[in-house]
Each structure stands twice: as C-alpha cells, then as structure tokens.
Structure 1
Amino acid sequence: MEELPVVDLESVTRELAESGRRVKVLWQKPDSLAFVARGREYRSEFHVNDSDEFTYMIKGTMHLHYRTPEGEEKVCVIPEGSTNWMPGNTPHSPRFPPDAFALITERGRREGEVDRFQWYCPKCDELLHEESAVVDDYTKDFVTQAYKNFFGNEAHRTCKKCGNVMPKPEGF
C-alpha cells in the first residue's frame, strides 16, 4: 500500500501563484483525481465530462457557469471556504480570477471516456465550436490545448448563425 497523501493546500496555492502555472495535480488514480486550480481570467468554454465533481474554494469566489439539460445557462456562486457538488455530464465553466484557488476532486477517467470543451456565441448562444480529447493524464493540461485550438482559428470563433466573431483574449 502507498503512503496516504497529506497535502498542505496553502503551500500548493503559493507554488501555483509563484510559478504562474494554472493546475497542480495532487493525485491521479483510476477512481480518484484531485487537483488545485488557479483561476483563468479568460475562461469561456463549457467543459463536459462523465464524472461527478466536487469543488472546494480555498481562496476567492468562483462563478460556476453551467448549462441545464434544456440548454439554459445559469450561474452558481461558490464563495471562499464553500463547496459544491456537480453531477457528471453537466456542461460547466468555472470562472474565477488568477488570485483565487479551487480544490477539485472527481473520478479518474475510464478508458475511452471523452472530455468535450464547448464554446457558445456570446451574442445569440449558438454552439460555436467543440473540441474533444481523451484525458488520459490530467497533467497534460488539455484545457490549455483546447483554448489554443479554439482561439487560434477565427473560423472556430465565428458564429454560423449570426456572424458574430468571439474576440481572442489577451495572450492568445
């Protein structure tokens, strides 16, 4: 049996803040994944994955945008020191500033499971683009790669319904 992990969350948040990195994976096992995320001010996509998720806001406040089964966008506000549970396959977009930190736990991905990253038109709410990936190793940071693919292609950011072009955030 492995040693049982004990994680000093204050040290992890300090490490992320000082290094500029966005995610620190604490453990990654077949039935359990835990990581600390630092906010991404540019986050706009909705992530869809099969696992339930548990979020604890270590520092700051998260505005967790999510889409109902009917496609309506709603926002769940998670203040510092609070938790949230979200069922699997809920399109969600965790939005919080770079000086805020969240602990997220979920089930490890099962073989063949596909994560999806969806962007919607800010003008008419039409689906703009979807990226998908088999997330076999969370340390590979598929979110960053999905963003590069989306923002690096103007056709992905152009709404086929209303013609609106989603602007690139700074840094892309």
Structure 2
Amino acid sequence: MYKMPIVSLPGEGKMLDETGRYVSVLWQQPESLVFVARGRSYRSEFHINPTDEVMYMLKGQMNLHYRTPEGKEEIAVLPEGAIIHTPAGIPHSPRFPPDAHLLVLERKRREGEVDRFQWYCPECDAFLHEEEFTVSDYAVDPVGKAYRRFFDSEEHRTCKECGHIMPNALAESEAEKKSD
C-alpha cells in the first residue's frame, strides 16, 4: 500500500538550518520532484532546467536572477509567501540567504535530459563557464557538485574577455562556516 507523504515544511526548514544541509528532497516520483532548499550565500550560476519549476518562498525573500532571450539579466523579487513559475529552458539563479527557505516543485528528469549551470563574468557579463549534469537523484546535490567543479578551477573563473578572475566564493563561504 502506498503511503501519502505528509511533510511539515517549517520542520524541514528547521532541520536544514540545524544540520547545515542545503536540500531536503521530500519526494522523487517519475512525474514530480519536490524539495525544500536553504539559501547559499555564494550562489551565482544560472541553472537551465529541462523542466518547468514552481518555487514558493517559505521563509525570507529571494531575488530570482534570470536571463532574457536577448541575454539580459533581470531580477524578480519573491517575498515570503509568494510563488513563481519558471518555464523550462530559462536560465535562472535563485539567490537568497542561508536562513531563508524555498519549496521547489518540478518534474523528475527523464532519460537523456541534462541540467546546465552557467556562470558569467561579474565585471563585463561575458560567458565564463558551463557545467552539465544528468540528474538521476536530486538528493546528491547536483548544484553543489557544479559549484565545486567551477570554483575549484581558476581557469573556469577567469574571464576570456576582460581578464577578471571571479573570487572563489565557495571557499570563502566554507571559511566563514569554520570561523563561526
């Protein structure tokens, strides 16, 4: 017999805060994937998801950076209690503090679907780097893995247009955690 999942969203947020984890997957089924995320202060990439996403701001406020079809960066501000739909294929970057929580609903990836993560130079907006992942299990934190690959490489963080080297925000964030 299938049990219907019932989850306390405030409880999931509290658990993320207490453990320092960034994602709690509530369920993954062939047609749905639902998770609660805690903000990452170092987030700067644009995620290109092969599925639509619905995001509901449980606690705090999020600035959803996204790129228009013309490549211009825009920001949609999502206050606590608000919901937003992000269509498949739109480069987007949910940016919110570590004490804020977001509920994300999307379709589990199908065979052959690829998630892409792109970074742009903070100085001149030139394309820096792209990471691709096949996401079969969201609980393994593909965003965190994409970050590590990007930030661990100075070559990936160096702009070919203006020469700016993007700081290693992941290392800075980890150093802050250790000093707390």
* TM-score of the pair, normalised by structure 2: 0.94
Q: State whether structure 2 residue 128 is matched by structure 1 residue 128.
A: yes
Q: State whether structure 2 residue 29 is matched by structure 1 residue 29.
A: yes
**Structure 1 residue 4: deviation in Å?**
1.2
Indicate the residue corresponding to 2:20 in structure 1.
20
Cα distance in structure 2, aligned partners of 1:52 and 1:29: 15
Q: State whether structure 2 residue 52 is matched by structure 1 residue 52.
A: yes
Q: How many residues align?
A: 172
Cα distance in structure 2, aligned partners of 1:117 and 1:2: 35
What are the ranges of 5 or more consecutive residues in structure 1 without an aligned counterpart? Answer: none
- Percentage of identical aligned residues: 60
Which SS does the other structure have where 2:4 is aligned?
coil
Which SS does the other structure have where 2:65 is aligned?
strand
Indicate the residue corresponding to 1:81 in structure 2.
81
Cα distance in structure 2, aligned partners of 1:127 and 1:111: 28
- 5 Å-filtered alignment, 1:1-172, equals 2-169=2-169, 170=172, 171=174
**Structure 1 residue 133: deviation in Å?**
0.7
Cα distance in structure 1, aligned partners of 2:48 and 2:20: 25
Query: 4+ residue stretches of structure 1 with deviation over 3 A?
Result: none
Query: Which residue type is aligned with residue 113 of structure 2?
Result: E
**Structure 1 residue 33: deviation in Å?**
0.3
Task: Considering fraction of residues, name the structure with more helix.
Answer: 2
**Structure 1 residue 49: deviation in Å?**
1.1
**Structure 1 residue 2: deviation in Å?**
1.4
Which SS does the other structure have where 2:36 is aligned?
strand
